[in-house]
Copies of this chain bind each other. A is one copy, B any other.
Amino acid sequence: MPGPIQSLSRAAAILRLLAGGERRLGLSEVSTALGLAKGTAHGILRTLQQEGFVEQDPESGKYQLGAELLRLGQSYLDVHELRARALVWADDLARAAGETVYLGVLHQQGVLIVHHVFRPDDTRQVLEVGSMQPLHSTAIGKVLVAYDPVARGELGDGPYESYTLRTLTEPADVDAECSLIRERGWADSVEETWEGVASIAALIQDRRRNPVGAVCINGPVERICQDGFVKPSLVASVRSAARAISRDLGAGRF
């Protein structure tokens, strides 16, 4: 039976639809958006509701995502081997660099943040775990594109969305940058996604040298850069953290 199960694919589409729209959606909105009969959409929604993947606002009758997804998402993190091995190294890196640390993996056409260490001294930060970032304009994203053919494939052939004046929007530019990244072994992103923010990333490989993710530090340009370039000491910290995690993954087999 090589072919997806129809009702399951539709259920997944409904969940993604609900995740996309910021507000709750009504049954009719869902059914028309996906081109389904109302009865069909209702049956799927009812099942998803029973399972806790979807909740229904009792007074408006509209639907939104359910709590079970949060619980399962947490379970995903619990099992995630890369994340488990990286926890302590990410912590050390954040302390050494004094900056925010992200750990990201390729997911669909973006970078999924699976771990986030807050900047040590600072407060009132928003946890980014579970959120997506672009591939072509972040340090983690560019590392993955440089080393993972799958990521390069997902990126497609632009032009890519521009977030600041420094965002690379042309495939040729990104590919050139990736050659550079492969040559020197690390990536940076200075105000390519957010104004005033710079980051440095390095690749994490598993025991068979497959790229499985990347780690980066993230902070205000003034602290990350000096004389227009990222500080070499920070680059060294990030690279050594990435190597440490990769080594840890390699040893994990036994």
A residues contacting B by CB (< 8 A) are 1-2, 4-5, 7-9, 11-12, 15-16, 18-20, 22-24, 39, 42-44, 46-48, 50-53, 64-79, 91, 105, 107-108, 112, 114, 120, 123-124, 127, 129-132
Contacts and interface: CB of A to CB of B under 8 A. Distances in A.
A71 B132 contact: yes
A72 B15 contact: yes
A4 B69 contact: no
Contacts of A69: 69, 72-73, 75-76
Nearest to A130: B74
Q: Which secondary structure dominates chain A's binding surface?
A: helix
A1 B67 contact: no
6 contacts: A5-B44, A12-B68, A19-B72, A19-B75, A24-B79, A71-B73
Nearest to A76: B65
Contact of A73 (B9, B20, B74, B78): B74
A39 B1 CA distance: 8
A249 to B, nearest CB: 13
A164 to B, nearest CB: 24
What 10 pairs across the A-B complex have the smallest Cβ distances? A73-B73, A74-B130, A19-B75, A12-B51, A65-B76, A70-B73, A8-B47, A4-B47, A67-B107, A5-B47
A22 B123 CA distance: 33
A213 B103 CA distance: 31
A20 B11 CA distance: 22
A109 to B, nearest CB: 12
A71 B9 CA distance: 17
Given A1-B43, A79-B22, A79-B64, A70 B8 contact: no
Contacts of A46: 2, 4
A68 B11 CA distance: 13
Nearest to A15: B72
A34 to B, nearest CB: 14
